[in-house]
Structure 1
């Protein structure tokens, strides 16, 4: 806690009830001194604290919404002229607003290049907060509009493949069972696409495989369960009738795998490396389950897939679970949200529905 005081401490007003543990700034004879519990602090510490207070004061009392949203538009357009066209403003007016923001923050936010403008390191951080602010405003507008129209708003859910067959349908059933009238949009795709949408505020929550990284503190993860991975093939595949397929049998097969850059592919590579075998000669790289399923049914091909994805097909005899353990770890499945954005009431209800669905549905595959 910081006190402001002057020479002789006259007129100093306590800001909280334990002044003996307060940090005090004393201004006298044009100089500033900092005290804590009556002892002087190093000047550098005081300067740092003053800088933090200064930025907070500027952001809360001087920086306006138009400053941040205009800076966001300029950074996204990469040029003042294109931003001016997008905003239907003159270029001098846009330039003036950006200059005002840089002056208020005391930092250069954009580097001018021959091709346009790019955010500086400081500007990149400001841009991240501008994106979050814009996403919050858009979310607020959607909710308020829905309330005005008498509806319950809308909810955007990003889902990885692992959650689509069973977990998400059950969660949606629970969600709507309570009479919720929220309009739900489900987006599926790659991890990069979904997390990018989450960061931009276009997606409210993501459900599926939990991220190995925390996105530099930008995401929050709620674990639900661990999903086993099984090796599968079509019933027509010779390996489907084999009691104990060998590593060499697997190496001789065609495979469907995630893209080479995906961490989900690493355990497969490690399996063949441990067995001293080269990777299969023919590999199809895709995350599309309709394509994977079609290939499994039409060709002698193998895939490592989450159990819930293939459970129904295995129980119906369409696909076969191969009795081979390649050491593939179970996938941590959970809910991913933006760390700094508040969830809407509908999103919070969906989180509860996902938790309930996970508790009902989680199970391991039967022994081979």
Structure 2
């Protein structure tokens, strides 16, 4: 929700005390200011947040939704602000924190301004005001740019997640009114893009026909970083063992294996697979180093006392692999689930199923403390349902 942080703190105090008077005392502002804050929030929500009675104010269903999300957003945010300087809890604004987030991520005032769509002096002024109230520098300046201090980096991450939580509040309030508000953002690794997601999205669309869904592609490291920043809701694809970091959780949907692929008419097609050493003579396509597929591929050769194929073409593209093996020279190693469509249509031939006994877990990665909105929960249900059928 694009609302004043002070208004949210006033709302939390009213929800806690059931009284405008006591909320005003707790927030150190006037009663009319608290009343005005609640009125603005109700206008933004499009529905009453409190029921007014002689005994006090009681949160409506919408008020309970907003209270839950706001508490999740503001508690860690205010804790981090207080650790830097107690005064920041009272003075830091949403605009200042958005400037801090952008500057911390791109480490340049001009690029931060471009990202936010505002003038560079505005970003510089917002950061300067935060630093003045904090009584210390939040960025280290150099001719190469700016680098956030450890405290600034931590505050930027918590603030970003707080704003994500408030966006989720807006989506849930819209749900109460029967409106499609917000969006679902999926991070998709190659396997999920070719098989799981198309079916899950079709199922989701049947019940949520007008909600925006974004599917972001990229390397695992890029998608994981986006997930942790709150830019991505759910990451789909091969799981890591162990989990990459403690603030995410992984959920296994099914196990996949690797297959050895060739084009129709390849000299090895229709014959028993030759000794592994002889496969080193062929040019290969396989995913880049660091991916689960590549790790298992290399491990298979090494476990047989062989050096993995050299001079490989590194790609995660099913289309490129499919086209390259048509020359009847190249071999490709990839996920069986990912290759199913090409195999079913006869575009490629499987020389070996479960190549090298390379079973691995496929599933979902999410933030450990994430609480999905109804729309996000529906998407989770669709992904789980499709994964359970494989």
Taking structure 1 as the reference length, the TM-score comes to 0.71
Partner of 1:231: 260
Tell me, yes or no, if the aligned pair for 1:268 and 1:328 is still in contact at 8 Å.
Answer: no
Tell me which stretches of 4 or more aligned residues in structure 1 moved more than 6 Å: 142-149
Tell me, yes or no, if the aligned pair for 1:198 and 1:338 is still in contact at 8 Å.
Answer: yes
Pairing 1:55–2:78 present: no
Cα–Cα, structure 1 residues 167 and 145, in superposed 2: closer, same or farther, change >3 Å?
same
After TM superposition, the structure 1 = structure 2 runs for residues 80-91 of structure 1, keeping only pairs within 5 Å, are: 87-88=118-119, 89=121
Cα–Cα, structure 1 residues 177 and 70, in superposed 2: closer, same or farther, change >3 Å?
closer
Partner of 2:313: 284
Q: Secondary structure at the match of 1:239?
A: coil
Structure 1 position 341, deviation (Å): 4.5
Pairing 1:102–2:134 present: yes
Partner of 1:338: 367
Structure 1 position 188, deviation (Å): 2.8
What is the distance in 2 between the residues matched to 1:74 and 1:52? 18
Q: Which has the higher strand share?
A: 1
Partner of 1:156: 185
Tell me, yes or no, if the aligned pair for 2:104 and 2:148 is still in contact at 8 Å.
Answer: yes
CA RMSD of aligned residues (A): 3.4
Pairing 1:111–2:111 present: no
Pairing 1:296–2:328 present: no
Partner of 1:73: 102
Partner of 1:32: none
Taking structure 2 as the reference length, the TM-score comes to 0.67
Q: Secondary structure at the match of 1:269?
A: helix
What is the distance in 1 between the residues matched to 2:124 and 2:330? 62
Structure 1 position 208, deviation (Å): 1.0
Partner of 2:358: 329
Cα–Cα, structure 1 residues 67 and 233, in superposed 2: closer, same or farther, change >3 Å?
same
Partner of 1:245: 274
Cα–Cα, structure 1 residues 299 and 102, in superposed 2: closer, same or farther, change >3 Å?
farther
Offset from partner CA, 1:143-163 (integer Å, 9 cap, x none) = 778999944543222211212
Q: Secondary structure at the match of 2:226?
A: helix
Cα–Cα, structure 1 residues 115 and 173, in superposed 2: closer, same or farther, change >3 Å?
closer
Tell me, yes or no, if the aligned pair for 1:240 and 1:322 is still in contact at 8 Å.
Answer: yes
More moved, 93-102 vs 202-211: 93-102
Partner of 1:262: 291
Offset from partner CA, 1:1-27 (integer Å, 9 cap, x none) = xxxxxxxxxxxxxxxxxxxxxxxxxxx
Offset from partner CA, 1:181-209 (integer Å, 9 cap, x none) = 32223233321232233234332222111
Aligned residue pairs, count: 308
Partner of 1:195: 224
Q: Which has the higher helix share?
A: 2
Structure 1 or 2, whichever has the larger Rg, is 1
Gaps of 5+ in 1: 1-50, 363-368
Gaps of 5+ in 2: 1-78
